[in-house]
Amino acid sequence: MLVLLCGALPFMTATAQGAAAVPLSDPAYLDIDRLAALGALDSVIIGQRPYSRRELARIVRVALAGKGAGGAPPLVSGPLARLARRFDEEALAQQKAFEPLADGSGLALSSTDAPRRGFSGSITRSLEATISPLAERRLGVPAVTGQIAALELSHELSPASWLAFNATERIEARDARTTAAPSWKGELLLGGGRARYRNVALSIGRQQVAWAQHRADGLFLASDGPALDLVALSSDAPFRMPGFLGALGPTQGTLLVAELGPSAVRSMSKLLAYKVSVQPRRSLELGATFMNHYGGAGGRASGLGTRIVDFLPFVDIFRGHNYTDTTRALDVDSDKLLGVDGRWRSGALGGLVLTTELLIDDFDVHRIPTIFTWDGAQTFGAELPTVAGSRISARVSAKHTGVRTYTHGSLSNGITTRGRLLGDELGPDAKSFGGEIGWHPDQGLRGTVEVVSAIMSRADYVAVEQGSFFGIRRLGPATNELRDRIVVSAITELRPGWMLTWRGGAERVRNADFAGGVRRDYVVDVALRLVR
Residues in the chain: 532
Give dist(CA 462, CA 403) in Å, integer.
11
Q: Phi-psi region for residue 55, left (φ > 0), alpha (ψ -120 to 50) or beta?
A: alpha
The pLDDT, as a whole number, for residue 103 is 66
pLDDT on residue 497? 84
User: 399 with 483: CB under 8 angstroms?
Assistant: no
Beta-carbon contacts of 4 under 8 Å, excluding residues fewer than 6 positions away, are none
pLDDT of residue 460: 73
How many C-beta neighbours within 10 Å does residue 298 have? 11
* One-letter identity of residue 94: Q
Residues 260, 261, 264, 270, CA torsion sign: positive
The domains found in the chain, sorted by start residue, are 2-295+333-531 (2.40.160.130)
Tell me: pLDDT of 324 over 70.
no
- Report whether 367 contacts 375 (CB < 8 A): yes
**pLDDT band at residue 15 using 50, 70 and 90 as cut-offs:** very low
Reference 270, options 332, 214, 331, 345; nearest CA is 332
14: pLDDT confidence band, cut at 50, 70 and 90? very low
Mean pLDDT calculated for residue range 340-362: 94
> Residue 289: helix, strand or coil by DSSP?
strand
pLDDT at 239 exceeding the cut of 90:
yes
* Chain segment 28-78, per-residue pLDDT in tens: 999 999 999 999 999 999 999 999 999 999 999 999 888 754 556 788 989
How far, in Å, CA of 256 to CA of 278, rounded? 18
**Whole-number average pLDDT of the chain:** 85
pLDDT category at 2 given cuts 50, 70, 90 is: very low
